[in-house]
A and B are shown apart, each in its own frame.
Chain A
Amino acid sequence: MPAEQVMTLAAIVLPFLAALIAPWLTRRLGHHAAWVLALLPLLVFIRFASYVPKVAAGGVVTGGFIWVPSFNLSFSWFLDGLSLTFALLISGIGTLIVLYSGGYLKGHPQLGRFFVFILLFMGAMLGLVISDSFLMLFVYWELTSLTSFLLIGFDHTRAASRRAALQALVVTGLGGLSLLAGLLVTWNITGITQFSLLVRLGGDITASPFYLLALVLLLGGAFTKSAQFPFYFWLPNAMEAPTPVSAYLHSATMVKAGVYLVMRLNPTFGGTPAWETILPLFGGTTLLVGALLAIRQTDLKLMLAYTTVASLGLMVMLTGFGSDYAVAAAVLYLVAHSLFKGALFMVAGLIDHESGTRDVRQLGGLRKAMPITFVAALAAAFSMGGLPPFFGFLAKEEIYAALYAADYWSLAFVAVAVIGNALMFVIGFVVAFKPFLGEKVKTPKDAHEGPALLWLGPFLLALAGLLAAVFSPLFHAIISSPMASAVAGHSEEITISLLPHLGMPLYLSLATVVLATAIYLALTPARNAIAATLTALGWGPDRGFDQFIAASVRASRMLTAILQPGRLDIYMTVTFLAVAAALLAPMAIYGEWPSLPAWPEDAEIHELAIILIAFIGLAAVIWARDRLTAIVTLGVQGFAVALIFMLFGAPDLSFTQFMVETLSVVILALVMTRLRLSPADHRPTKQKIFDASVASLCGVGFMLYLLAVTEQPFNSYLTDFFVAYSKVVAHGANIVNVVIVDFRGTDTLGEIAVVMVAGLAILSLIRVRAGWRPGMLAENDPDAPRGEGT
């Protein structure tokens, strides 16, 4: 393997290694471990940055290992403009987030665990965006859902955290399944399992009759992950997580995985009427709903969370719009959003950390106490509002340039974009102005500037937003243009700069600012109006989720009550009836009854004696007075069968039968004594007749089946094979044993694993506590009142 590939692999694995050493490091260094741990994502960043020249020149980076060649499965990576930009955002912002976490959770007893989770997430997200193979993308996709679950539920003693974590897992997990199905359909249509090949396929797939199915399934994954309407509700609830998580997962990276997927699919799946209808409609709705709900909030984090929902809608809308301009706008907005939203979240966390509250109505006048934070917040808000000289301005100009056209469809989306942008503008400045300007308000904690660990992140991100805009030609050449080319599927040049051109985009920008100023001034009435509307509606997807969960629980309880009535005799009757039906029905349907063999003339006296013993054993079981006798006499019948095996040349089988019979009698007897049943059988006669007929049906079924099998001419292929090769190949004369341990050893390995697991299961069943009732919660469930069931 070339050294370059080894280095890339190292970069992919590095976050996981960092997660491994994080707890130890945190125990040694406390929160200062952040400085050391941040070096690892920084290394990853530098590694990926070294690919920038190659990718900017139009090249791609690939590598990896073949895993199962027959299924085209591999562990392989593929870096083009799109993946590389994402990889740089993940590792770059990740570095800052690790630092910020060190400051934010300073002194937290579980800081080490937090670092583990966040670094694991970083590794998963990095793997997701550079995956070439479908399977690898899916595995990493699910890993991000899992790590997100752990991070949202980090504060696991609070019920709200647990609910939010579970909700995120259910929604994104269901989406993950949809994604898997979509990838499989795509694989079936094209025979391709790699994105590097898929993007070169062009539009062939859109002609397939299964195109729409694949598209809807894939979008199911993308829309749940990227919180599109109506699945957006998990994202605001995910704000239960500590702020570094919100800044990193739920604004800058993970929620963009869906957008990433949509962008990745654009060259292959895009350009169809379905694509250009579904995406703008859902994206536009998400944009409006998210922005309006953001106005309703008073909590800084929740405001930002809803604008994240809105921004994700905007990106999906733009990607689905179809034109090259729209793709360029989506790309620019994605980068801008990662920078300013990450910064604003960190600012919100900083304010919360220093002042003790996130409620915008209880904050004010912090600019003197926290000057650096104020500057960072202001810069980020300018970018978010799309004002020069920040990167958000470029994005917004490009958005308006892309959307504007003189037809109703375009004009409708221009209106949606203007309203959405204006509302987000308002939120940006609420976060940047309200806590800092005006009279100083008394806050729960006496606020002052936080340590460098805390303000470094937002400050650098805001600075990046400024620099990217000022040096836009360079930035476009190395980042935006390659990424837009990858999304569009053909080479594309982005040229927009800070110099404004008089034209429709600029007028629309002005309209946005005017509208935003009006809303900002009337914020409180607007908030109350939206709140009143929501109260009148009374139902939202969040409640819908609860109803969905409650309904599934009820449905499964009903189904369980039917399938699992809890009575052993019913289970046994059903099982044996099914066995009898499986044996007898095919013979009856196809009329393949075996002919009964003639009585053998050469039957020896000892053979007849053994059969007689078996019958005596059977009769003794039936007429036994108490259960213990019945069990022991059952053994008699089993021994007789073992003797028959021995007589007809199957010593191994007979040997095993002897041992199994002995042990089952012993174990059955032990179970019976433990159950403390009444010694005799109290079934009514009617029940006895029914049970006897079920038993006879099974017995007759087995007999006829065996007769039918032995009537077939004996195929000696396998016997000949084993006789010929057992001694030569496997050095064993006992064919049965050689088959078990050598020729079919892997089967045996599976079987003994089953034996052990069954043993474990039985052991735990025996040890179930006597006081347990159905529906009782686990001992460590924090919701459970001590010592009581529900």
Chain B
Amino acid sequence: MRTVIFRTVAPYLTSLMVLFSIFVLLRGHNEPGGGFIGGLIAASAFAIYGIACGVAPVRRALYFHPMALSAFGLLMSTLAGMISLPLSVPFMTGNWMKLHLFGNEIDLSSVLLFDIGVYFVVLGAITSIALALEERDRG
């Protein structure tokens, strides 16, 4: 699998896929997409990078352990659900605010935060499994 072409292309491919996964994540509320799919795309991106260039560069690039990313995502989703508590509405109620930026109106919500949490959980869990398998594969 470690051909020169693959090794050369893989970093660009991975970057593009990660970018695309974020795009899919963010547009999820109105078009097909969302945190789960975005997370899967990002996980496959890192899996490809790992297959092409070895596991060590992926771990360096991720900086955090993928399981830590997963845990961070779960924490984020839980906290997103808890935003509603100080507002005295039931757990997980979506809260929205409008942000005016450069003349555009952007909707921000606790739901988006929740979806980003889902993204990180899926990304982290799948990546850590894939990387662990790739590692032992060569060991």
B interface, by DSSP: helix, strand, loop or mixed?
helix
Q: Other than the known A673-B137, A734-B33, A745-B111, what 20 A-B pairs have Cβ atoms closer than 8 Å?
A: A655-B24, A656-B36, A662-B44, A663-B47, A670-B133, A674-B137, A731-B96, A732-B29, A737-B34, A741-B29, A741-B34, A741-B114, A745-B94, A746-B91, A749-B77, A749-B81, A752-B74, A755-B122, A756-B124, A763-B128
Q: Which of chain A's residues have a CB closer than 8 A to the CB of B137?
A: 670, 673-674
A-B complex: 10 closest residue pairs judged by Cβ atoms? A759-B125, A659-B40, A670-B133, A651-B32, A732-B29, A733-B30, A752-B121, A737-B34, A745-B92, A766-B132
A666 to B50: give the CA distance in the assembly, Å. Answer: 11
Contacts of A49 in B (CB 8 A): none
Option from A734, A745, A749, A767 in Cβ contact (under 8 Å) with B34: A734
Tell me whether B74 and A659 are in contact (CB under 8 A): no
Among residues of B, the one whose C-beta sits closest to the C-beta of A654 is: B32
Contact of B125 among A732, A749, A755 (CB under 8 A): A755
The count of chain B contact residues (Cβ–Cβ below 8 Å) is 49
The answer to whether B44 and A659 have CB atoms under 8 Å apart is yes
A762 interface residue per 8 A CB criterion: yes
Pull 28 A–B residue pairs with CB atoms less than 8 Å apart, ordered by A. Answer: A652-B37, A659-B41, A663-B40, A663-B130, A730-B94, A730-B111, A732-B30, A734-B28, A734-B34, A736-B34, A740-B36, A741-B118, A742-B92, A742-B94, A745-B81, A745-B111, A746-B92, A748-B77, A749-B92, A752-B118, A755-B121, A756-B73, A756-B125, A759-B70, A763-B128, A763-B129, A763-B132, A766-B132
Residues in B whose Cβ lies below 8 Å from that of A746: 81, 91-92
Instruction: List chain B residues, Cβ under 8 A from A674.
Output: 133, 136-137
A760 at the interface (CB under 8 A from B): yes
Q: A755-B125, A756-B125 are in contact. Are A660 and B40 (CB under 8 A)?
A: yes
Question: Is A737 a contact of B28 with CB atoms below 8 Å?
Answer: yes
A758 within 8 A of B: yes
Determine if A619 is an interface residue (Cβ-Cβ < 8 Å). Answer: no
- Measured between C-beta atoms, what is the minimum distance from B67 to chain A in Å? 7
In the complex, how many angstroms separate the beta carbon of A69 from the nearest chain B beta carbon?
15
Of residues 714 through 750 on chain A, the ones whose CB sits less than 8 Å from some CB of chain B are 730-734, 736-738, 740-742, 745-746, 748-749
The residue of chain A having its C-beta at the shortest distance from the C-beta of B122 within the complex is A755
Is A671's CB within 8 Å of the partner chain B?
yes
Is B105 close to A, CB under 8 A? no
Indicate if A753 sits at the interface (CB-CB under 8 A): yes
With an 8 A cutoff between CB atoms, is A667 at the interface?
A: yes
Asked whether B43 is an interface residue with its Cβ less than 8 Å from the other chain, the reply is yes
Chain B residues positioned under 8 Å from A766 (CB to CB): 129, 132-133, 136
The answer, among B30, B37, B78, B91, for a CB contact under 8 Å with A656, is: B37
A662 — nearest CB in chain B belongs to which residue?
Answer: B44
Interface residues of A in 237-296 (CB under 8 A from B): none
Q: Which of B29, B41, B94, B126 contacts A733 (CB 8 A)?
A: B29
Contacts of A731 in B (CB 8 A): 29, 94, 96, 107, 109
> Is the Cβ of A667 less than 8 Å from the Cβ of B129?
yes
A767 CA to B91 CA, complexed, in Å:
37
Among A737, A741, A762, A763, find the residue whose CB has the most chain B CB atoms closer than 10 A. A741
CB distance from B3 to the nearest CB of A (A): 17
B71 sits at the interface (CB 8 A): yes
Given contacts A734-B29, A752-B74, whether A666 and B94 have CB atoms under 8 Å apart is no
Task: Tell me the complex Cα distance, A734–B96, Å.
Answer: 17
**Contact across chains for B122 and A666 when beta carbons are under 8 A apart:** no
Q: Check B67 against A759 for contact (C-beta < 8 Å).
A: yes
A666 to B35, CA, bound (A): 21
Taking a contact as CB atoms closer than 8 A, the residue among B111, B117, B128, B136 that contacts A752 in the complex is B117
CA distance A673 to B134 in the complex (A): 10
Tell me the A750-789 residues at the B interface (CB within 8 Å): 752-753, 755-756, 758-760, 762-763, 766-767
